[in-house]
A and B are shown apart, each in its own frame.
Chain A
Amino acid sequence: MSHKIINPSTSVPPANAAGSTGYDYTIGPQQTLPNSSAQSVASTLAGTRSVYHESLHPGAHGAHVSVAAYAFLFQEMVSQARNASKTVSEIELRLHRHGYHIGLRLLELLKFRSSVTPGSGRSFFHKSGGPAATAGDAVGGAGSAPSGAGAGGAGSIGTAQDESLSSSITTMKRRDLRLLEVLQFVHGPVWLYLFDRASDDLVKSSERENEYMIIDNTPSITRFISSTNVQCDFFVCGIIEGVLDLASFPCTVTAHSVPEDKFDRRVVFVIRFDQEVLEREALRF
């Protein structure tokens, strides 16, 4: 290869980095360079599949996280927010902000994932997990193409991955444009992704026109937290708000603990849409 690609994120010469592709604690995260030996690239493709190979793929749907591990992480998030804030509402605001950024990404990710047709996904995995020769060929092809060289540090694995994934998408899923559709999306796929089940209910408020409620009888991430004055479910509020905001349904989401006879941890997420959303909804298109 004629081009010598300068990789900004590594301080060591590529020759040293050829063998190491993951995180090296003395150096930091390392990229696999396009011009490093084809063998190491092929071995990363065939062997250990990192999160970058999996996350967009339908095969990653079954991935689960231990509740205990997540509870400890969330516990640390809450205590960090608590140490940094003076009032209860400030703690909730911080949690809300954490969730908001997750929500923004979640809308894109879930739409993308649902667009990948499951059958072609399997064939994609066969291709990358198959013999090293095919993987090496794919890498070589990407590197020698003019556009591939121009892409520079983007990394050949990513390119090969994107190409094969995008080829398996025939039609991209349509974005939800109606209010009820997008609420159904939060109630179903988003909840399913986050908590492995749909939320327990989706209700329209009888008092206000712009108010909808999502009800969770057994909130997963706050199940170990016994506190009445700080509402830790504001983290989930942030996620909902992020999803709806990016889908162009600006709103404010608040969480309220409303115990019912059997479910003493029941939480109601109240979604209050801005006026413009209702005006747009009233238009016919």
Chain B
Amino acid sequence: MAIQTILVINKSGGLVYQRDFIKTSAKLSSNEYLILAGTLQGVVAIASQVTPKALQISAKAGSKTANEPSQLIPYVGSLGAPTQNLSDMGSFMGQDFFNESFASWNQSGLKHVTTDQLSMFLYQTLTGLKFVAISTQSTTNAMAVSIAENLLRKAYCLYADYVMKNPFHDPDMPIKCELFDSHLAELVGQL
């Protein structure tokens, strides 16, 4: 799976980060990326309304058991794991951030879009921040989806470290942090 682009969309639907990892001839303009981000935000919100009413009610009734195994995303080990110095990957100090399955915070929204040429994966955080990965591989495989979610969760860890702990970053504003850039590139490169 080759990651072409990673986007970060803030909770109000604005594009705060966009980075290409593969040089392509057909590149979207920054304005088009902004529109894409806004559209995705809207689609995720609407998609959650499409959920059949019966399912919505049963989900609400069973919300206490949100951590049941079926709703957990399996942990994919050693994905983008640091190869050289471990302590440099972030404040978690561990080799691989966390090593267990995790609950998805995006129960009813959009997670995965596939075309013949590419697929797009969405990871939504508890605070409404969205991480989007665009992959050059077209896949409907459930495994690929969980790999992508694992990857984006790691991107979220990097965001927590290098963006949120940077005093020169204003929340909800475009991200301009060199360290976040370099670590994200490292993470994608190790895939």
Interface residues, chain A, with chain B CB atoms under 8 Å away: 66-68, 71-72, 74-79, 82, 218, 224-227, 230, 232
Q: Which residues of A contact B177 (CB under 8 A)?
A: 226
Q: Which residues of B contact A224 (CB under 8 A)?
A: 91, 161-162, 165-166, 179
Q: Which residues of B contact A76 (CB under 8 A)?
A: 167
Looking at the complex, which one of A66, A67, A77, A226 makes contact with B166 (CB distance below 8 Å)?
Answer: A226
Q: Is B180 positioned at the interface, with any CB of A under 8 Å from its CB?
A: yes
Contact at A225–B167, with CB atoms within 8 Å? yes
Q: Which residues of A contact B167 (CB under 8 A)?
A: 74-79, 82, 225, 227, 232
Q: Is B68 positioned at the interface, with any CB of A under 8 Å from its CB?
A: no
Q: Which residues of A contact B100 (CB under 8 A)?
A: none
Give the Cβ gap from B187 to chain A, nearest Cβ, in Å.
16
Q: How far is the CA of A77 from the CA of B165 in the complex (A)?
A: 11
Identify 5 new A-B residue pairs, CB closer than 8 A, beyond the known A75-B164, A226-B162: A75-B165, A78-B168, A225-B167, A226-B179, A227-B167
Q: Which residues of B contact A75 (CB under 8 A)?
A: 164-167
Q: How far is the CA of A230 from the CA of B166 in the complex (A)?
A: 12
Q: How far is the CA of A79 from the CA of B170 in the complex (A)?
A: 10
Q: Is B178 positioned at the interface, with any CB of A under 8 Å from its CB?
A: yes
Q: Which residues of A contact B164 (CB under 8 A)?
A: 75
Q: How far is the CA of A226 from the CA of B93 in the complex (A)?
A: 19
What are 23 of the A-B contact pairs (CB < 8 Å)? A66-B91, A67-B93, A68-B91, A71-B91, A71-B161, A75-B164, A75-B165, A76-B167, A77-B167, A79-B167, A82-B167, A224-B91, A224-B161, A224-B162, A224-B165, A224-B166, A224-B179, A225-B165, A225-B168, A226-B162, A226-B179, A227-B166, A230-B168
Nearest A residue to B181, CB-CB: A226
Nearest B residue to A66, CB-CB: B91
Which 5 A-B pairs have CB atoms at the shortest separation, nearest pair first? Answer: A78-B167, A224-B165, A226-B179, A226-B178, A71-B165
Q: Which residues of B contact A74 (CB under 8 A)?
A: 167
Give the most central of A68, A72, A78: most B CB within 10 Å.
Answer: A68
Q: Which residues of B contact A72 (CB under 8 A)?
A: 165
Q: How far is the CA of A71 from the CA of B178 in the complex (A)?
A: 17
Contact at A67–B91, with CB atoms within 8 Å? yes
Q: How far is the CA of A79 from the CA of B177 in the complex (A)?
A: 16
Q: How far is the CA of A193 from the CA of B91 in the complex (A)?
A: 19
Q: Which residues of B contact A82 (CB under 8 A)?
A: 167-168
Q: Which residues of A contact B162 (CB under 8 A)?
A: 224, 226
Q: Which residues of A contact B178 (CB under 8 A)?
A: 226
Give the most central of A66, A78, A227: most B CB within 10 Å.
Answer: A227
Contact at A227–B168, with CB atoms within 8 Å? yes
Q: Which residues of B contact A227 (CB under 8 A)?
A: 166-168
Nearest A residue to B167, CB-CB: A78
Give the Cβ gap from A251 to chain B, nearest Cβ, in Å.
27
Q: Which residues of B contact A218 (CB under 8 A)?
A: 87-88
Q: How far is the CA of A227 from the CA of B169 in the complex (A)?
A: 10
Q: Which residues of B contact A71 (CB under 8 A)?
A: 91, 161, 165
Q: Which residues of A contact B165 (CB under 8 A)?
A: 68, 71-72, 75, 224-225
Nearest A residue to B88, CB-CB: A218
Give the Cβ gap from B15 to chain A, nearest Cβ, in Å.
20
Give the most central of A75, A78, A82: most B CB within 10 Å.
Answer: A75
Nearest B residue to A68, CB-CB: B91
Q: How far is the CA of A139 from the CA of B103 in the complex (A)?
A: 53
Give the Cβ gap from A259 to chain B, nearest Cβ, in Å.
12
Q: How far is the CA of A76 from the CA of B162 in the complex (A)?
A: 14
Q: How far is the CA of A66 from the CA of B162 in the complex (A)?
A: 16
Give the Cβ gap from A55 to chain B, nearest Cβ, in Å.
25
Q: Restricting to B147-176, which residues have a CB under 8 Å from any CB of A?
A: 161-162, 164-168
Give the Cβ gap from B16 to chain A, nearest Cβ, in Å.
16
Give the Cβ gap from B28 to chain A, nearest Cβ, in Å.
26
Q: How far is the CA of A230 from the CA of B177 in the complex (A)?
A: 14
Q: Which residues of B contact A68 (CB under 8 A)?
A: 91, 161, 165
Q: Which residues of A contact B161 (CB under 8 A)?
A: 68, 71, 224
Contact with A along B102-141 (1 / 0, CB 8 A): 0000000000000000000000000000000000000000
